[in-house]
Amino acid sequence: MGGDRPDDWTVSRRFRGFMPVVVDVETGGLNPQTDALLELAAVLLDVDAQGKIVQVDRIQLHVAPFEGANLDPVSMKINGIDIDHPFRNALSEAEALQQFFQPIRQRLKLNGARRAILVGHNAAFDLAVINAAVARCGNKRNPFHPFSTFDTVTLSALAVGETVLAKALEAIGLEWDSAQAHSALYDAEQTAELFCRIMNAFSKPNGRAPLRAPPVKKSPD
């Protein structure tokens, strides 16, 4: 957890009942329906005692291409993934989704949140990839909102006038390691740092904006 804090202040309350989860995927192309899902990574977030959004846990999984999946040579050159590497330990798409969703669902329950909201850099693509994999596998436990996202492209355009992830990170004083780029976990961690810094910078004092009062309970007649 993010340190001692008031019991009534959780990351889900900060986001009106939803819980942001930073996600990055690596794929064998740009078509979620036909191209292989190869890596899944997520960074789970919470709030600390001062109400600041912080990183608390990480998930990383390697995924075996589904039967008939396309592997575009251009995309594979960019991501540098060797699907036949003996130490890759890739899971089937169905097993990977199960292991990916389980800790997210556990934290949803812990925070009393309704749904997870995917945070990503060009988040619509990451969500489309996950939704396509869910449909292929018939998974009924997808914790993510089916269409809503928080996109750090838009947030960084607002905050620092940059839309490229590497340039946005540099604009807030962080280094970008191009050698680690296109690893799903590295990209997710960097995106999480960008998201946390922007959200915390734009929050009101104590990082609790907007702090919504709990609903007033009506007394029985």
Residue 117 bridge partners (DSSP): 20
3-state secondary structure of 51: coil
* Residue 219's pLDDT band (cuts 50, 70, 90): low
Q: Give the distance from CA 85 to its chain's centroid.
A: 26
Q: Is the pLDDT of residue 169 over 80?
A: yes
Q: Is the pLDDT of residue 213 over 80?
A: no
Radius of gyration, CA atoms only, the chain: 18
Supply the pLDDT for residue 214: 47
| Sequence-distant (≥ 6) Cβ neighbours of residue 113 within 8 angstroms | 10, 11, 12, 15, 17, 18, 19, 107
Nearest CA-CA partner of 23 in 207, 203, 195: 195
Which strand (E) or helix (H) includes residue 32?
none
**What is the average pLDDT score of the chain?**
89
Rounded to an integer, what distance in angstroms lies between the CA atom of residue 27 and that of residue 79?
8
Can you list the alpha helix ranges (DSSP code H) found in 32-122? 73-79, 93-111
The structure's pTM equals 0.88
pLDDT digits over 62-108, tens only? 999 999 999 999 999 999 999 999 889 999 999 999 999 999 999 99
Nearest CA-CA partner of 202 in 41, 7, 5, 14: 14
Please compute the mean of the pLDDT values over residues 206-219 and round it to a whole number. 50
| Residue 159 structure tokens | 């905050």
pLDDT digits over 29-60, tens only? 999 999 999 999 999 999 888 788 999 999 99
Question: What are the residue numbers of the active site?
Answer: 182
* Residue 205's pLDDT band (cuts 50, 70, 90): low
| Residue 73 structure tokens | 């040579």
Q: Is the pLDDT of residue 206 over 60?
A: no
Supply the pLDDT for residue 162: 95
